[in-house]
Structure 1
Amino acid sequence: MSRAPEPFTADDYQARMDRAARTAADAGLAGLLVAPGPDLVWLTGYQPPAATERLTALVLVPGQDPVLVVPALEAPDAARSAGAPALTLRDWTDGNDPYAATASLLGTSGRFGISDNAWALHLLRIQSTLPDTSYVSLTEALPMLRAVKDAAELERLAAAGAAADATYEEIKKVPFAGRREIDLAGDLADLLRRFGHSQVDFTVVGSGPNGANPHHEAGERVIERGDMVVLDFGGLMHGYGSDTSRTVHVGEPGVAEQRVHDIVREAQEAGVRAVRPGVACQEVDRVARAVIADAGYGDFFIHRTGHGIGVTTHEPPYMIEGEEQPLVPGMCFSVEPGIYLPGRFGVRIEDIVTVTGDGGRRLNDTAREMAIVH
């Protein structure tokens, strides 16, 4: 198990909030409203109670100190968060109007970015209080806000990747044949936690024909000898994500299965080789997709080649046709081409890759050749 990294400091969170405010201004926004969720955690270190329905919002307006509007009964927890020294807390009590308090921080007009997972109830009440304001989702307005990771974030992502690798090495040792998919999924979850994950987000086990569904939920199907099995698993460790996929075979594979696996492995390698600063995200998708299309399986690669990863396991940037955002050192994302043959089997191989000064570096190091399990 890796050592715990040094915690982020108030200065780290202050720098993030300052950068977010500057980025908002550069995008022509009057400011940002950040509701509970991954953006708030990344900017302040504060994670409110999951069940709260009370308005909580970070207000970032260029040229003003950041303010966290928070229910009074939750203010003590907010005051203990790592980013609290960089924040002004404005609490409100039940029976008072939190929307007026929030609106007073925004001015009377302007276009604001708002985090994607904000409650519609809260947004509509603020907008009714300030009818001359308008709002755009943070992902639409500032898609790259969290995309470029600093050294401390990369350390956490590398540790999460190493834990996922250790999980894969161990899962290959357990019996597959004669067990249900959900049994293997439980093993994967237990191993991720054993190797340091605090949160398990997904454990895909797609055996035989179920592997042709990229997001198959592990079920009651009993894995048989002769099955191809797609394994895709990940979660959060030290607040940052892991996500890796490998495809194994129960016993010796057939010629067609081996060929499809080899094609996906070649496509994945091509996608990783394409990673370097200045290359458009869509180029990674194009390069990997071309390998599969040239082999005659283009119609069976049915999803994007990759997604960003950080404090969530899916976030911008996306490796997909039409995404012209250039790669920048510090970006982290998956490269995960696949082939899915309905009624037969599927194959996917996935690594997390970070952009370096002159190329890309994998954060997953397990073998990509097809593993034989029992």
Structure 2
Amino acid sequence: MSDHRSLSEPAPFTADDFAERLRRAAHAAQDAGLDGILVTPGPDLLYLTGYAPVAITERITMLVIPVDAEPAMIVPRLERPDAEAAAGASILRITDWTDGSDPYTESATLMAGTGRYAVSDSAWAMHLLGLQDRLPKSSYVSMTTALPMLRAIKDDDEIERLAAAGAAADQVYEEIVTVRFAGRSETDVGADLADLLRQFGHSQVDFTVVGSGPNGANPHHEIGPRIIEDGDMVVLDFGGLKHGYGSDTTRTVHVGEPTAEEREVHDVVRHAQQAGFEAVRPGVECQEIDRVSRAVITEAGYGDYFIHRVGHGIGLTTHEPPYMVEGETQILHPGMCFSIEPGIYLPGRFGVRIEDIVTVVPDGGRRLNQTSHEMRIVH
């Protein structure tokens, strides 16, 4: 396989970009009735400051975004040089603590003693309990619960990165359908997918699902030793990060000629995916995308075999809010990016799933994956 890595790189985010994100985060917290946001290492910290610690350890690193004061970040002293080198560091007041001191007492000085804060979902329990001990009148709520849309609406630069990741995943698919499937293991094909993702510019491979034959009826089957056989339906779901933003696409191929039933099931899923896409427009509730796709599958008699939500948000991580699922009344806004991935899973037999990443635009939706939804025959 040749090296297809893109030579073009998007311009890096600037201190001004991070300042605007911090400002919007503070306003969102105020609108939610919070006194601030506490952000620990993970995608939220990267989004708001450009800082990604080398390792998430037992040493507390925390960004504090008060609604009525300037943001500040506390870091372990030995990690301060790395924190100060981050793109957003110039707009932050950075303090540090040393091993042997009490990091929670020092962290508490950045917070209001009686405040109510949203906290990163990935925060360590030991850190939150330490803060509660020092500030017993403070209270906390998870970021997803209080501010689910903090990273959901992407700007043009983020969508450019997501589009590049989607285009790279499309190139991976066009390459993988040319390789031999029959007689090879799922592990072998999965390794090909991972290699191709890297060759097309992904810095990180998050998953390579190769669900052949009956394994395709398990939506989260990844790869295993099963030898792919002639006559197998094969679910291919793969993605990772390119330029820091996610790709995630699924196509279902067939080894040799499919049966009439296999074609029918594939067509039902294809129509369900198209119906979900056509329902995308500003002002629609997230749950409506699930309902529309699910209705197609239910009306075809396969409703009991569609066993997951129809989609999830994507950005700095491959799964994040918003979620296209029954009960999610969040309204779609331009700039939201998410998957539409209906499926039918017949236990012990085969599965079919088709997935594109879609972004909301003023007059509807825009696909970030462009490969054909028609069933591809592989050998």
Task: Settle same-fold status: TM greater than 0.5.
Answer: yes
TM-score by length of 2: 0.98
Q: Matched residue of 1:313: which SS? A: coil
Instruction: Establish whether residue 305 from structure 1 lines up as the match of residue 303 from structure 2.
Output: no
Instruction: Establish whether residue 355 from structure 1 lines up as the match of residue 369 from structure 2.
Output: no
Residue deviations 1:197-241 (CA, integer Å, cap 9, x gap): 000000000000000000002000000000000000000011100
2:27 maps to a residue whose letter is R
> Which of residues 15, 39, 43 is equivalent to 1:34?
39
Instruction: Establish whether residue 327 from structure 1 lines up as the match of residue 332 from structure 2.
Output: yes
Aligned counterparts of 2:372 and 2:239: Cα–Cα separation in 1: 17
Question: In the alignment, what sits opposite 1:233?
Answer: 238
RMSD of aligned C-alpha atoms? Answer: 0.6
> Which of residues 64, 68, 77 is equivalent to 2:69?
64
Contact 2:36 2:117 in 1 (8 A): yes
Q: How far apart are residue 52 of structure 1 and its match? A: 2.3
Instruction: Establish whether residue 273 from structure 1 lines up as the match of residue 285 from structure 2.
Output: no
- 1:13-92 equivalences under 5 Å are 13-92=18-97
Residue deviations 1:99-125 (CA, integer Å, cap 9, x gap): 111111111102110000000000000
- 1:62-211 equivalences under 5 Å are 62-211=67-216
Aligned counterparts of 2:55 and 2:185: Cα–Cα separation in 1: 32
Aligned counterparts of 1:303 and 1:142: Cα–Cα separation in 2: 24
Aligned counterparts of 1:50 and 1:75: Cα–Cα separation in 2: 13
Question: In the alignment, what sits opposite 1:288?
Answer: 293
Residue deviations 1:172-195 (CA, integer Å, cap 9, x gap): 010000000011110000000000
1:192 maps to a residue whose letter is L
Q: How far apart are residue 53 of structure 1 and its match? A: 1.7
Question: In the alignment, what sits opposite 2:260?
Answer: 255
Aligned counterparts of 1:248 and 1:195: Cα–Cα separation in 2: 21
Runs of 4 or more above 3 Å deviation: none
Q: How far apart are residue 305 of structure 1 and its match? A: 0.3
Q: How far apart are residue 5 of structure 1 and its match? A: 0.3
1:86 maps to a residue whose letter is I
Q: Matched residue of 2:38: which SS? A: strand
Aligned counterparts of 2:107 and 2:186: Cα–Cα separation in 1: 49
Aligned counterparts of 1:50 and 1:334: Cα–Cα separation in 2: 29
Question: In the alignment, what sits opposite 1:367?
Answer: 372
Q: How far apart are residue 65 of structure 1 and its match? A: 1.2
1:349 maps to a residue whose letter is I
TM-score by length of 1: 0.99
2:316 maps to a residue whose letter is V
Q: How far apart are residue 168 of structure 1 and its match? A: 0.3
Q: How far apart are residue 50 of structure 1 and its match? A: 1.8
Aligned counterparts of 2:110 and 2:75: Cα–Cα separation in 1: 13
1:362 maps to a residue whose letter is R
Aligned counterparts of 1:226 and 1:50: Cα–Cα separation in 2: 45
Q: Unpaired runs of 5+ in structure 2?
A: none
Q: How far apart are residue 40 of structure 1 and its match? A: 0.4
Aligned counterparts of 1:108 and 1:77: Cα–Cα separation in 2: 29
Distance 1:51 1:62, change over 3 A: closer
Q: How far apart are residue 51 of structure 1 and its match? A: 4.5
Aligned counterparts of 1:107 and 1:142: Cα–Cα separation in 2: 20
Question: In the alignment, what sits opposite 1:317?
Answer: 322
Aligned counterparts of 1:342 and 1:331: Cα–Cα separation in 2: 34
Residue deviations 1:260-286 (CA, integer Å, cap 9, x gap): 000000000000000000000000000
Q: How far apart are residue 95 of structure 1 and its match? A: 1.1
> Which of residues 248, 257, 263 is equivalent to 1:243?
248
- Aligned length in residues: 374
Q: Matched residue of 1:347: which SS? A: strand
Aligned counterparts of 2:92 and 2:207: Cα–Cα separation in 1: 34
Q: How far apart are residue 37 of structure 1 and its match? A: 0.4
